[in-house]
Copies of this chain bind each other. A is one copy, B any other.
Amino acid sequence: MKASGTRLFIERVTREGRQEVEDFVAEEMPLTIILNNQELVTLLCSPEDLNYLAVGFLVSEGLLKTKEEIKRVLVDNHRGVVRVETTKENAEAGELIFKRLITSGCGRGASLSRAVNAGEMGKVTSEKKITAAEVFSLARDFQQRSQGYRTTGGVHSAALSDNQNILVFHEDIGRHNAVDKVFGQSILEGIATDDGTIIASGRISSEILLKVARQRVPVIISKSAPTDAGVSLAREMGITLIGFVRGGRMNVYAGGGRVTSGS
């Protein structure tokens, strides 16, 4: 869903002078996620689709796997709280959750997650192919959908596609949140991700790659750059990582076997 903007009066200044103008800036709110009565984290995010964000966050952190585990998702938009109740007790995970969320703090702890998960998860083995023409077409559709950026200039976008169409699309002030919202909706609505393509507006770091790997998505596309750890992880996990999709060109950093030239 499109991220909303707040209307403000600001001054536009040039060398020649200044004038008051109306402007729209991206909204930012704190969201606290509570899993089975345990307060886990407070994220800053765009105020839409908090249920998807909470579920996606839990999935990305490995605290939730399937829709069937979810008993209830209670959203309090006003207080900025989402409570997720699951069939699993997280008492068992108490120490682990705590440790992970700290090390995973601001940088989201790729070191720990990587050590723990990349090996366990196993390679992404989808035989899905994607043509260069499909990549360019998806990038164009994605750009057109990214309304929030054009209005406020302050949000990231992420989408899930079947290579022909965009199936799920979200915007958020947080690069991670946009991706988590996409996976949250996919889980809640039973949309398969394991032959899909993720399109993201932001930089592809190891943390984003881990989210994608966890959902077994074989292809990720961005108009931005990856980091070296993002590329390493993509190569290790068998994920196709395409960056810098711009002006009829793209850089394929990993998994080039899935990319076929031509249309």
Contact = CB atoms under 8 A, between A and B. Distances in A.
Interface of A: 5-6, 8, 10-18, 23, 25-32, 39-45, 80, 98, 101-112, 132-133, 135-136, 152-154, 173-174, 176, 203, 205-207, 224-231, 244, 248-253, 256, 259, 261-263
A43 B107 contact: yes
Contacts of A203: 26, 154, 173
B227 A26 contact: yes
Taking chain A's interface residues, is the majority helix, strand, or loop, or is none over half, making it mixed? mixed
Given A25-B228, A154-B203, 6 more contacts: A6-B228, A15-B248, A25-B226, A28-B110, A44-B206, A153-B224
A173 B244 CA distance: 16
28 contacts: A5-B228, A8-B231, A13-B132, A13-B251, A14-B248, A15-B136, A15-B261, A18-B259, A23-B253, A25-B227, A25-B228, A26-B225, A26-B227, A28-B227, A30-B110, A30-B111, A39-B102, A41-B107, A42-B103, A42-B109, A42-B112, A44-B107, A104-B105, A104-B106, A106-B106, A106-B108, A154-B224, A173-B205
Most central of A40, A132, A228, A250 by chain B CB within 10 Å: A228
A205 to B, nearest CB: 6
Contacts of A261: 13-18
Contacts of A17: 261
A101 B103 CA distance: 10
Contact of A153 (B16, B107, B244): B244
A254 to B, nearest CB: 8
Contacts of A105: 41-43, 101-102, 104-106
Contacts of A205: 28, 44, 173
Contacts of A28: 110, 205-206, 227-230
B206 A132 contact: no
A16 B248 CA distance: 10
Nearest to A11: B252
Contacts of A231: 8, 25
A132 B42 contact: no
B154 A42 contact: no
A253 B25 contact: yes
B225 A25 contact: yes
B252 A13 contact: yes
Contacts of A259: 11, 13, 18
A214 to B, nearest CB: 16
Given A13-B249, A44-B205, A154 B29 contact: no
